[in-house]
């Protein structure tokens, strides 16, 4: 079967890759583009470890075909920081120790950034509802929720 | 996934043609069920026809009805001010499906075409007496749902849009599986232009179904008290690792009452 040529904007840069029809966006990001920050957890849309932002929307990259990415604007964990300067939510995850093994962390960070892009002043309930599609099996959620709320407060103070 | 050919037509006619000429062809909407199915190799399509290019993501509200295009995402329905004003129960239902990531990809047409026995949208379509407009015809919800994962759709027939008559009162309450957020039992109650209708999802072996005893009681007296004592037999209900049929029967009774209270 012939390969598909896909052109997209990834982390602000034009990108192109070749994929098979049966590749997911996650496969293409990791295996073709070597953007291995995005993780595969369950592979079935339950855990959120593969979360990326596509045209402003948080999605599971494991449940989207790579060919569906044609013409899309995609943001991955690699595009969250500004060069060496961490995004505030990354810094707050460190300060609050909102991670343990770290496997779920890229997905949580991308999901949290998608929330803060839309809503700079979320309530705790809104944060919990928003992050419901991301699972953490070691640290649990309390520190993560606190880190996101603290990030929102700091970003508002610095705005 | 098995290998397949990918096609992204830009018109409904082309999409229907791609499906009509090949009985192994499959349509792809949001993919939140279909891509896991492909990954598990439960399906081996010759061609996957992506519906994203058909321009079927829209919401139109009139004084009488809310019409939603087939590829409109759950997130778009949940966030729509027009839907929230016209049928708040429908917007709330969409906002409670799965999680954020699923709601940003999953579509109303995909949900109705799949007719998962625990899905939320079938309950809304049946209780509100929706009309499903397809590439061939218009199908009343009462004729559309034909059992678990089974609908009136033909293999080369695509959903175009779904029209929901605006009810005077409606509510959807779901007793959800805490992990998947699928309905262990979900009940949609509505009092509208098509009378009092109550639909139950998550419970029946045949998928979504109407709850005629509750409908009769509510038509006579719209109050939580009138349905509080209505029991349903467990015979035709699902039993799985999440709940026994007897527990689901109890949930139907409790959740119906809660839905009437929520509808006011």
- Which positions in chain B touch A40 (Cβ < 8 Å)? none
Task: Note the pLDDT tens digit of each residue in B66-103.
Answer: 999 999 999 999 999 999 999 999 999 999 999 999 99
Residue extents of the structural domains in chain B: 1-54, 169-263
DSSP, res A67: G
Give the minimum alpha-carbon distance from B33 to chain A in angstroms, rounded to a whole number: 9
Of the residues A3, A19, A43, A59, the best mutation for testing chain B's interface (the one with the most B CB atoms within 10 Å of its CB) is: A59
> What pLDDT score was predicted for residue B179?
83
**Does A65 contact B6 at a Cβ distance shorter than 8 Å?**
yes
The torsion angles phi and psi of B130, rounded to 5 degrees, stand at -70, 160
Give the minimum alpha-carbon distance from A46 to chain B in angstroms, rounded to a whole number: 7
Task: Note the pLDDT tens digit of each residue in A43-74.
Answer: 999 999 999 999 999 999 999 999 999 999 99
Percent of chain B residues past pLDDT 70, beyond the cut:
100
Task: Note the pLDDT tens digit of each residue in B45-70.
Answer: 999 999 999 999 999 999 999 999 99
Three-class secondary structure of residue A5 per DSSP: strand
Same domain, A71 and A105: no
Q: Considering its fold, how many domains does chain A have in total?
A: 2
Task: Note the pLDDT tens digit of each residue in A14-42.
Answer: 999 999 999 999 999 999 999 999 999 99
B234 Cβ neighbours under 8 A, 6+ residues apart:
B244, B245, B246, B248, B249
Same domain, A102 and A146: yes
Same domain, A75 and A92: no
Size of the A and B interface in Cβ pairs below 8 Å = 76
CATH topology of domain B169-263: Enolase-like; domain 1 (3.30.390)
Same domain, A66 and A93: no
Same domain, A72 and A92: no
DSSP, res A30: I
- Taking the C-alpha atoms of residue A107 and residue B58, their distance in angstroms, rounded to an integer, is 29
Q: State the residue range of the domain holding A19.
A: 4-79
Give the minimum alpha-carbon distance from B223 to chain A in angstroms, rounded to a whole number: 31
Q: Domain boundary at A49, A79, A109, which?
A: A79
Element (H, E) at A42: none
CATH number at residue A140: 1.10.150.120
How confident is the prediction for chain A on average, in pLDDT?
A: 96
Give the minimum alpha-carbon distance from B110 to chain A in angstroms, rounded to a whole number: 14
Work out the average pLDDT over A103-113.
98
Same domain, A46 and A107: no
Check CB contact of B48 with chain A, cutoff 8 Å: yes
> What pLDDT score was predicted for residue B21?
84
Kindly report the pTM of this predicted structure. 0.96
In the predicted model, is pLDDT for residue A1 greater than 70? no
Of B4, B31, B75, the CB nearest to A21: B4
Work out the average pLDDT over B235-252.
96
Q: How many residues does chain B have?
A: 264
| Burial profile A120-149: b = 16 or more Cβ within 10 angstroms, e = fewer | eebeeeebebbbbbbbbeebebebbbbbbb
**Does A65 contact B5 at a Cβ distance shorter than 8 Å?**
no
In the predicted model, is pLDDT for residue A2 greater than 80? no
Percent of chain B residues past pLDDT 90, beyond the cut:
97
Of the residues B101, B103, B180, the best mutation for testing chain A's interface (the one with the most A CB atoms within 10 Å of its CB) is: B101
Q: Taking a C-beta distance cutoff of 8 angstroms, is the pair B210, B197 a contact?
A: yes
Of B2, B50, B105, the CB nearest to A22: B2
Of A21, A65, A129, the CB nearest to B3: A21
ipTM, 2 decimals? 0.95
Chosen CATH of B1-54 out of 3.40.50.2300, 3.90.1200.10, 3.20.20.140, 3.30.43.10: 3.30.43.10
- Taking the C-alpha atoms of residue A73 and residue A76, their distance in angstroms, rounded to an integer, is 10
**Does B39 contact A43 at a Cβ distance shorter than 8 Å?**
yes
Q: Taking a C-beta distance cutoff of 8 angstroms, is the pair B184, B118 a contact?
A: yes
Work out the average pLDDT over B233-255.
96
- Taking the C-alpha atoms of residue A117 and residue B128, their distance in angstroms, rounded to an integer, is 36
Check CB contact of B99 with chain A, cutoff 8 Å: yes
Same domain, A11 and A52: yes
């Amino acid at each position: 079967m012939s390969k598909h040529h896909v052109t997209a904007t990834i982390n602000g840069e034009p990108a192109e890759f070749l994929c098979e029809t049966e590749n997911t966006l996650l496969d293409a990001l990791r295996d073709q583009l070597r953007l291995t920050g995005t993780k595969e957890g369950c592979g079935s849309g339950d855990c959120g470890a593969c979360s990326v932002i596509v045209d402003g929307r948080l999605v599971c990259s494991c449940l989207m075909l790579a060919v569906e990415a044609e013409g899309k604007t995609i943001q991955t964990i690699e595009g969250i920081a500004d060069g060496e300067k961490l995004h505030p939510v990354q810094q707050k995850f460190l300060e609050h120790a909102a991670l343990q093994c770290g496997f779920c962390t890229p997905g949580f960070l991308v999901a949290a950034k998608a929330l803060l892009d839309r809503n700079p002043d979320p309530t705790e309930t809104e944060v919990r509802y928003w992050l419901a599609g991301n699972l953490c099996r070691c640290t649990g959620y309390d520190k993560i929720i606190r880190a996101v709320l603290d990030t929102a407060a700091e970003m508002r103070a610095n705005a | 996934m098995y290998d397949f050919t990918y096609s992204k037509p830009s018109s409904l006619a082309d999409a229907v043609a791609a499906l009509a000429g090949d009985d192994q062809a499959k349509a792809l909407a949001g993919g939140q069920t279909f891509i896991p199915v492909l990954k598990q190799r439960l399906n081996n399509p010759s061609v996957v026809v992506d519906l994203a290019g058909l321009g079927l993501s829209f919401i139109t509200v009139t004084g009488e009805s809310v019409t939603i295009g087939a590829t409109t995402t759950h997130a778009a329905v949940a966030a729509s001010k027009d839907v929230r004003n016209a049928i708040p129960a429908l917007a709330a239902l969409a906002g409670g499906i799965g999680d954020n990531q699923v709601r940003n990809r999953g579509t109303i047409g995909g949900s109705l075409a799949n007719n998962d026995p625990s899905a939320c949208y079938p309950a809304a379509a049946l209780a509100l007496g929706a009309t499903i407009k397809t590439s061939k015809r218009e199908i009343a919800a009462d004729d559309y749902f034909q059992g678990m994962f089974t609908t009136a759709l033909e293999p080369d027939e695509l959903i175009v849009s779904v029209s929901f008559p605006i009810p005077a009162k409606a509510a959807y309450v779901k007793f959800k599986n805490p992990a998947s957020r699928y309905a262990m039992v979900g009940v949609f109650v509505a009092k509208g232009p098509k009378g009092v209708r109550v639909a139950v999802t998550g419970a029946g072996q045949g998928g979504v179904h109407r709850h005629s005893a509750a409908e009769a009681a509510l038509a006579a007296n719209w109050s939580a008290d009138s349905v509080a004592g209505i029991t349903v037999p467990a015979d035709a209900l699902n039993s799985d690792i999440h709940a026994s049929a007897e527990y689901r029967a109890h949930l139907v009774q409790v959740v119906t009452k809660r839905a009437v209270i929520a509808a006011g």
